[in-house]
Chain A
């Protein structure tokens, strides 16, 4: 009976030309959305969708996004980037009295599902694709028939494939054993974890022997792919954690690794970089046109480098250079500096977190197979981190400053005798390490908090990476960071975040017992005993 109604509605949808009568019904259904209770709003959204008109889809979408407004006289408007659109006449309306129609999650789900079903017949291929996904997320009895009807008309090959899969997963709960058999056969190529659990549920109740056999085989092959994708996802997450660790540690690899300064204020350099990012973002918001805001991150890089490099050089000239050769005093002094810097930032910006928005090109991700999503911000950070490391390696290898720096590290008196201004090289090296920490702060502001405590979270990890990788070796830092990241992420699903971290620490302690100089120890005369 339901299916019959639906086909009627579909026929009406395909044949109807908007008539005055339909307009009346539509506008009544539309106005009903402005109800008091959520239950009434849900009924209204369903009634609007049941009219089966394609023009209801953008309205339901707007409702789900909270962009549907109502004027005091009950007219419903769609808000788009600050202007109001009258959905019936498609005219722009200016008003300042419109209020948003409130939605809760249940209404949002109903509206999205309904909009999805309507958009199945949209002329826009992308909208049809999204519609199929929306239907898969909120399956219903009517949905299978609708997808079948839409499939018959579909011309785009990728969306056709998507629909076939969707239909198969809907057909899994069909009463017809033939349909179920076709569905499980069809789904053999899927690697979606939700399809896996659907088949598992099917197996719990399935009585038809043939369907069972095929379903078990399908389940086996899906499970294999999901496990494989899980492994790839773990690897990516490990790489991504490794890249974050590496970014935090590169600067330290310069100040601690190359100069031998135990710089407890390293984390605060990262924090200053993040706050510079915030300041640049605020500057962009205040003074530049809104469409340039996505570029603020690029502008923040040199700004953060400059600010932190200057602070770093100031610290080196003002305090740290008097403490060379006295590691304990250096450690205490830089720890004090870190507290001072934190409190200064707390006084200027306040103790609360600052909001640093992700630019649109760093929000979201690619949905790959098997429930694995490659998030943009992580990919950008991995690439960025490699670029920073490459740039630093090139600077050390090919520039004259790099040459001086290596000379001073390897043999200070000899370098001085050759006329290298060791004091200036020290200051510049410390500035370079701090500056790199600053640009790490720009990247880290994209995935975490921007608060005065930001740096504390990274200082222990940074030292861990540098010590593990081998003091003074950039490549050691790279290998150390990535291997710690990957090991951590492979342990986490089994041991939990807490125990995973403890296990990694224990592992490093044991490792350092065996190889006190880390993975890649510097060799030669320059290394003091």
Chain B
């Protein structure tokens, strides 16, 4: 009896609140934030959640979008890949968000991809990845391999980079390192590097005992040819890897390590005194001086209320993605996914490091590439950068089966992986 009464009261309250909610929803534009806030990936993804919140806060202070407030719906997929798909469905079906900013690992992106394609959602993916993908419903604002891996290898082969002749490709065992290394191996061979001068090594996630591998690298590097390590080691495994390098006395001027997954945020957890001179390739460094970057760093540190917090490349990619989306919404005059998608092509946003990023019809950006050396203070010092922006290849020309594919979502192609246009 009593239970019934409570239930009744509950129903009544719910019924009276619902119309209010529906009413409120009309005055806001909802966007989804799909980043892990717990579990293994929380270490990287929490920062991006905060970045989106900062951008939302900023746009609301400036009067919102299309005269409405932007409201961020934050969900926690808890570093659990199937949960990513569930939460994506919840964001699109239940919350009816206009766009989603999220995912870090490629496996989480692959897991939400069918959901976004089925429900015609729009995902902004802000992390450097292995390429070989172009979905109609995803915009990739991180680097493709030709915007990170290939320029890094080119730099190491140049005179300034030390004219490297022998290569160790070391990575964590999953799709991003495997694909990147496949591309790099084909690229190196096309540059005349012999197979015996390439050593490929994979380790499990969170690998913590690097003694054998670092000793092997040292041995591999003692063959009298200049040797470098290209590291696609991801996440937590990096700290013990760099500690072992330092302890075994592998110095950057003998065997430099260039990393694609180590940024300012990761270095904050390492004592960098012994790592000076090791390299990273990114589209953004916090140390690059520009008025936009200075303002961004200041805004971030005051938003997060910590004057020591660092910024990194995926944050810039989130920033560019968010800005592009707001500009496209303003141009289209609506948040309708199909209209915004059309408005996004050719959309331009100033990079934080100078120059202008452009959204291409393959759903990837044109961005500049920087190579930096690790400094004693945990920052990078740029030692090389591209003269101009580089356009991302969704499909690598160095893998035979992907070389023939084209991604172009405008007429006459309208396709992410076709060998010939849909409309002729």
- A residues neighboring B (CB under 8 Å): 38, 64, 66, 102, 104-106, 108-109, 112, 137, 192-194, 197-198, 201, 233-234, 237, 240-241, 244, 342-343, 346, 350-355, 357-358, 363-365, 367, 371-373, 375-378, 447-453, 456-457, 488-489, 492-493, 496-498, 501
The 10 closest A-B pairs by CB, nearest first: A353-B269, A194-B222, A375-B247, A351-B42, A109-B253, A237-B211, A357-B271, A197-B223, A497-B203, A108-B253
Closest chain A CB from B213 CB (angstroms): 7
Closest chain A CB from B355 CB (angstroms): 21
B269 touches A498 (CB 8 A): no
Set B204, B240, B375: member contacting A449, Cβ < 8 A: B240
A496 touches B201 (CB 8 A): yes
Q: How many angstroms between the C-alpha atoms of A102 and B287 in the bound complex?
A: 13
Closest chain A CB from B338 CB (angstroms): 36
Interface string of B309-335 (1 = CB under 8 A from A): 000000000000000000000000000
Q: Which residue of A lies closest to B267 (CB)?
A: A355
Taking the complex as formed, is B119 at the interface, i.e. its CB lies under 8 A from any CB of chain A?
no
Residues of B within 8 A of A193 (CB): 219, 222
Closest chain B CB from A208 CB (angstroms): 21
CB contacts under 8 Å to A, within B215-234, are: 215-216, 218-219, 222-224
Q: How many angstroms between the C-alpha atoms of A137 and B274 in the bound complex?
A: 19
Q: How many angstroms between the C-alpha atoms of A78 and B209 in the bound complex?
A: 38
Taking the complex as formed, is B246 at the interface, i.e. its CB lies under 8 A from any CB of chain A?
yes
Q: How many angstroms between the C-alpha atoms of A456 and B240 in the bound complex?
A: 16
Residues of B within 8 A of A457 (CB): 206, 208, 236
Q: How many angstroms between the C-alpha atoms of A201 and B159 in the bound complex?
A: 24
Taking the complex as formed, is B252 at the interface, i.e. its CB lies under 8 A from any CB of chain A?
yes
- B residues neighboring A (CB under 8 Å): 37-40, 42-43, 46-47, 159-162, 173, 201-204, 206-209, 211-213, 215-216, 218-219, 222-224, 236, 239-240, 243-244, 246-249, 252-254, 256, 265-266, 268-271, 274, 276-277, 279, 373, 375-376, 381, 383
- A-B contacts, 22 of them at CB < 8 A, read A38-B383, A106-B161, A137-B254, A192-B222, A194-B222, A237-B212, A244-B208, A354-B269, A355-B269, A355-B270, A365-B248, A371-B222, A378-B211, A378-B247, A448-B239, A450-B269, A457-B206, A489-B211, A497-B201, A497-B202, A497-B213, A498-B204
Starting from the known contacts A106-B159, A355-B270, A364-B247, 7 additional A-B residue pairs (CB-CB under 8 Å) come to A106-B162, A194-B224, A350-B46, A352-B43, A354-B269, A447-B244, A452-B42
B268 touches A352 (CB 8 A): yes
B224 touches A201 (CB 8 A): yes
Residues of A within 8 A of B203 (CB): 497-498
Q: Which residue of B lies closest to A501 (CB)?
A: B204
B212 touches A489 (CB 8 A): yes
Set A109, A354, A373: member contacting B162, Cβ < 8 A: A109
Q: How many angstroms between the C-alpha atoms of A491 and B90 in the bound complex?
A: 46
Q: How many angstroms between the C-alpha atoms of A109 and B160 in the bound complex?
A: 11
Closest chain A CB from B83 CB (angstroms): 14
A105-B162, A355-B269 known; A497+B204 contact, CB < 8 A: yes
Closest chain B CB from A360 CB (angstroms): 10
Q: Which residue of B lies closest to A489 (CB)?
A: B212
Most chain A beta carbons < 10 A, residue from B211, B216, B248, B383? B211
Closest chain A CB from B180 CB (angstroms): 17
B271 touches A355 (CB 8 A): yes
Q: How many angstroms between the C-alpha atoms of A121 and B203 in the bound complex?
A: 46
Q: Determine the main DSSP class of A at the interface with B.
A: helix
A104 touches B383 (CB 8 A): yes
A104 touches B373 (CB 8 A): yes
A493 touches B212 (CB 8 A): yes
A364-B249, A451-B269 known; A38+B160 contact, CB < 8 A: yes
B247 touches A197 (CB 8 A): no
Q: Which residue of B lies closest to A376 (CB)?
A: B247
Residues of B within 8 A of A192 (CB): 222
Set A371, A372, A447, A496: member contacting B243, Cβ < 8 A: A447
Q: Which residue of B lies closest to A457 (CB)?
A: B206
Residues of B within 8 A of A488 (CB): 209
A197-B224, A453-B40 known; A355+B268 contact, CB < 8 A: yes
Closest chain B CB from A31 CB (angstroms): 22
A240 touches B276 (CB 8 A): no
A105-B256, A108-B253, A352-B268 known; A66+B276 contact, CB < 8 A: yes
Residues of A within 8 A of B204 (CB): 497-498, 501
Residues of B within 8 A of A375 (CB): 211, 244, 247-248
Residues of B within 8 A of A106 (CB): 159-162, 253
Q: How many angstroms between the C-alpha atoms of A194 and B159 in the bound complex?
A: 23
Q: How many angstroms between the C-alpha atoms of A106 and B266 in the bound complex?
A: 25
